[in-house]
A and B are shown apart, each in its own frame.
Chain A
Amino acid sequence: MARMLDVAPSSILEEEPPVTARAEALLAKARTVLDRNPRATFENVWHTLVLLDEAPIERLRRSLLRARTVDLH
């Protein structure tokens, strides 16, 4: 059908947004960590996994930025 319409297949297929797939993968990782470390807190594990997806300099920037934001209020 895509060929007949002369469009890319992705333009007519309903694809799962990549952000959802990424979130599900992170969630699965978080569950594994929590299964093996029952005393760990979900929020800490989740935010660590999210930060591990970033470059170290971005992790540091977020940390400093949050401190600056806290200072403002």
Chain B
Amino acid sequence: MPEPLIFTESEQAFLRELTRLKVDFMIVGLAAAALQGAPAVTQDIDLWFKDPGDQRIRAALDRVGGLYIPPTPATPPLFAGKSVALFDIVLRMDGLRSFEQEMRDTTLIRIGKTRVRVLSLARIIASKRAANRAKDRLILPVLEDTLATLKQTQARRPRRGRSK
């Protein structure tokens, strides 16, 4: 049986529109960890926006046929629509500094045709440690082993453009 299509072109289009419109955002959480090589399972892609009220987010949603559902006292703000169903809006990140400060600890990663800011694995670990929920405690050893592996492999990789 063929694998179900996931994170298809229509879902990538939202990230592309956000980038094209120069919205300040980064991917955080386990999706960010997975992008960096962590063997972690996640159901959604958490997006942290500098300003969740930024009108350009609505413009990006319009372009891909998505909707913004404002928060209520009982529910967080949500995205609705097939092309944005995988994305969650993150309003608070445990254990992290301000958006601007954390932005310095991001890395640009190519996702399809777009390069997107992704929170560094070290900072994801800091956030999970601070959140300290049962599910965070379970995933922490995996993330820590991934970080150790990354450090090892990056240390062994020769620098580009180094003269002989």
Contacts and interface: CB of A to CB of B under 8 A. Distances in A.
Contacts of B101: none
A15 B149 CA distance: 31
Interface stretch (A5-13, A16-24, A32-40): A32-40
A57 interface: yes
Contacts of B146: 44, 48
Interface residues of A, number: 29
Contacts of B148: 33, 36-37, 40, 45
A57 B145 contact: no
B39 A44 contact: yes
Q: State which size class the interface on B falls in.
A: 20 to 34
A2 interface: no
Contacts of A29: 152-153
B7 A68 contact: no
B4 A44 contact: no
A47 to B, nearest CB: 4
Contact of A64 (B43, B110, B153): B43
Interface of B: 3-4, 6-7, 12, 30-31, 34-43, 45, 86, 109-112, 141-142, 144-146, 148-150, 152-153, 156
Interface of A: 29, 32-33, 36-37, 40-41, 44-45, 47-49, 51-52, 55-57, 59-68, 70-71
